[in-house]
Chains A and B, each alone.
Chain A
């Protein structure tokens, strides 16, 4: 049931009840008072008439009685009047209309009236002796008419009031209901999240106050919701930012991990307390130290651990020794240079490592130790250094002879024969020095250019070797090398000058290392089957070499003859090897002590197809 209906019904019910009581009681009072008045009038009238008629009754003066009746009736207020004597005989009577026919019955009250006339009898007493009676009747219809009229008026007024109250309560109910509906709608909208919803404020009554209060509440709700929303948005933003930062950090960490994992350099990171926090796979590989045994160690223990893995000569001096000097100590020049140390890891996989320290500013990483594998560089450096000192040594030896003999000749007197001998030695040692310098330069050039300066062309190996052999001057007037009988050309691709130098060196060695003489022979080895290689073999019957000597022939400055009787630089075979290998070929050695040595140079054969012929035409300097 709607509020408005309830209001109307409630008010109507109350109003109806009140009106019913009011109208009922008013009518009752009206009736009661009228009845009382009628009763009193009838009683009084009866008594007055009885008193007036008493003498006439006693005297039986009928004329007076009739006059009295007439006069009494003239008032118009009595319906009928009858005066009776003590025997009940009618002495005088008069009535407006017909007399009641029914036997007289006195009415004590209006309620007793059955015939529309209030009947009353008043005795005429003299000294309490009954002498007659006066009977009169008064119509009650005016009284009833009055009651009816009053009732009609009351009903009309009640109906009007009911209508007015209904109208008012309807208006009030409508107004209230409308405000409540507005409140309800606004509440629903707020509940749905629309905090801009407001109730229109009309007037200044309690509803207006309620609406105002509601609007204030809505406003505050809106504000607090906005605040909550702003806060939650800010919180969300912060969360998102944190999430982004975390993912960025994760990404970075992932990347770093991949870098550390893939890097050939080893890394060790230390936490804020300078304890080992991370060890890269490369570190494990380089040092042989396991992560399990090193993680969590403090700096000193870690240093000891690493030092124990080093060879005695290059023991790790400790992480602390790598640390840069503090700011206060940086006054001295060069103090800020990064300190590095070279260590050598012992054991089977001997490595040379360069170790450095990077101090970090991060909260969780105090410093990072990095290790670079410089085994190869160190080896190259060592070889270079060895080569240089060997070269210096080799140069100092002839220089020692030249210097020494010259000084002796300048400071002492010798016989002419000795002097000539010294001069011969000085001359030979000078020649050796020149050879060493030339061959060193040759070797350096060949190594530096890696064949880029080779003038490659198609060559007939047979013709080339014949030319070399023809131009070769054997020592001590020994016979020229024996060549195989002439045959068809053997095509190879190569640099004429360089191949001449290589083959010349081999021939020269063959003579040098067969000081007792003997044949030096040359032969050609044709490609065997599909092998695209051509061989030139130089054989001597000289002193030969042991297995150990044979293995070292290609070492720089290595000389199979330690006696110093055979002149040489120890670089000839190195040059041969470099030249032949840069031509895509290789050198084979075979030797027996006392039986002589065989050197075979293998070179890539040039195919004799149409294609190669076409190439040969374009090649410069190729013999036709």
Chain B
């Protein structure tokens, strides 16, 4: 089972995403960049759900860049989740090498579908509703 790391400082969001992903993926959680980096080093995930605005010295963009610069980790599918939906932030996300960009409130189903597609996982169980991707 492929692993997804959920990085968000808010436990309720981490819980929501974990719930959404639990049928198809194994999940790890981190409440900040530091914890996330430690988790990645311990066990390399296949995908990362990354909150952009996190407390601490490193935000989501910077963390994403760091992952993408690392040759061992560059292949990881990184999805940025943010409360800021403006074009500049999207551009920054693209520049940072993110594979996906979700704006809060995000659709958990769309997030699952993104990883199912990108990580080429066969859906064991079809989602109740048709997949719809947040814009």
Digit string of B98-112 for contact with A (CB within 8 Å is 1, else 0)?
000001111111000
What are 5 A-B contacts with C-beta separation under 8 Å? A397-B83, A397-B104, A399-B105, A401-B12, A563-B11
Indicate whether A404 sits within 8 Å of B108 (C-beta atoms), given known contacts A411-B129, A564-B10: yes
User: DSSP majority for the A interface?
Assistant: helix
- Given A393-B83, A396-B103, A562-B9, 15 more A-B residue pairs with CB atoms under 8 Å apart are A399-B105, A400-B16, A400-B104, A400-B105, A401-B16, A401-B105, A403-B107, A404-B13, A404-B17, A404-B106, A407-B107, A407-B109, A412-B128, A563-B31, A564-B12
Residue of B nearest to A398 (CB): B12
- Does B73 lie at the interface of the complex (its beta carbon under 8 Å from any beta carbon of A)? no
For A565, list chain B residues within 8 Å (CB). Answer: 11
- Does B71 lie at the interface of the complex (its beta carbon under 8 Å from any beta carbon of A)? no
- Does A215 lie at the interface of the complex (its beta carbon under 8 Å from any beta carbon of B)? no
For A228, list chain B residues within 8 Å (CB). Answer: none
Indicate whether A389 sits within 8 Å of B12 (C-beta atoms), given known contacts A400-B105, A400-B106, A404-B20: no
Interface contact B19-A408, CB-CB below 8 Å: yes
Q: Give the contact-size bracket for chain B.
A: 20 to 34
- Does A405 lie at the interface of the complex (its beta carbon under 8 Å from any beta carbon of B)? yes
Digit string of A420-454 for contact with B (CB within 8 Å is 1, else 0)?
00000100010000000000000000000000000
For B104, list chain A residues within 8 Å (CB). Answer: 393, 396-397, 399-400
Interface contact A425-B12, CB-CB below 8 Å: yes
Which residues 5-23 of B sit at the A interface, judged by CB distance below 8 A?
A: 9-13, 15-17, 19-20
- Does B53 lie at the interface of the complex (its beta carbon under 8 Å from any beta carbon of A)? yes
Which residues 365-424 of A sit at the B interface, judged by CB distance below 8 A?
A: 389, 392-394, 396-397, 399-405, 407-408, 410-413
Interface contact A411-B13, CB-CB below 8 Å: no
Interface contact B11-A564, CB-CB below 8 Å: yes
Interface contact B16-A404, CB-CB below 8 Å: yes
Question: For the complex, what is the distance from the CA of A148 to the CA of B127, rounded to whole Å?
Answer: 185
**Which interface residue of A402, A407, A563 has the most chain B CB atoms within 10 A?**
A407
For B11, list chain A residues within 8 Å (CB). Answer: 563-565
Number of A-B contacts (CB under 8 A): 74
- Does B84 lie at the interface of the complex (its beta carbon under 8 Å from any beta carbon of A)? yes
Which 10 A-B pairs rank lowest in CB-CB distance, beginning with the nearest? A403-B105, A393-B83, A411-B128, A396-B83, A396-B104, A400-B104, A400-B105, A411-B129, A404-B16, A564-B10
Interface contact B108-A562, CB-CB below 8 Å: no
Question: For the complex, what is the distance from the CA of A410 to the CA of B105, rounded to whole Å?
Answer: 16
State how many angstroms separate the Cβ of B124 from the closest Cβ of chain A.
13
For B32, list chain A residues within 8 Å (CB). Answer: 562
Residue of A nearest to B89 (CB): A389
For B53, list chain A residues within 8 Å (CB). Answer: 393
Question: For the complex, what is the distance from the CA of A399 to the CA of B134, rounded to whole Å?
Answer: 14
Interface contact B107-A410, CB-CB below 8 Å: no
Question: For the complex, what is the distance from the CA of A404 to the CA of B32, rounded to whole Å?
Answer: 21
Question: For the complex, what is the distance from the CA of A429 to the CA of B13, rounded to whole Å?
Answer: 11
For B127, list chain A residues within 8 Å (CB). Answer: 411-412
For B17, list chain A residues within 8 Å (CB). Answer: 404
**Which interface residue of B55, B104, B109 has the most chain A CB atoms within 10 A?**
B104
Q: Which of B19, B105, B128 contacts A402 (CB 8 A)?
A: B105
Interface contact B128-A404, CB-CB below 8 Å: no
Question: For the complex, what is the distance from the CA of A562 to the CA of B56, rounded to whole Å?
Answer: 10
Q: Which of A394, A404, A425 contacts B105 (CB 8 A)?
A: A404
Question: For the complex, what is the distance from the CA of A386 to the CA of B83, rounded to whole Å?
Answer: 13
For A405, list chain B residues within 8 Å (CB). Answer: 16
Interface contact B55-A562, CB-CB below 8 Å: yes
Question: For the complex, what is the distance from the CA of A401 to the CA of B104, rounded to whole Å?
Answer: 9
For A396, list chain B residues within 8 Å (CB). Answer: 83, 103-105
Question: For the complex, what is the distance from the CA of A562 to the CA of B14, rounded to whole Å?
Answer: 13
For A401, list chain B residues within 8 Å (CB). Answer: 12-13, 16, 105
Interface contact A410-B12, CB-CB below 8 Å: no
Question: For the complex, what is the distance from the CA of A393 to the CA of B128, rounded to whole Å?
Answer: 29
Question: For the complex, what is the distance from the CA of A393 to the CA of B9, rounded to whole Å?
Answer: 13
Interface contact B128-A564, CB-CB below 8 Å: no
State how many angstroms separate the Cβ of B54 from the closest Cβ of chain A.
9
Question: For the complex, what is the distance from the CA of A565 to the CA of B20, rounded to whole Å?
Answer: 21
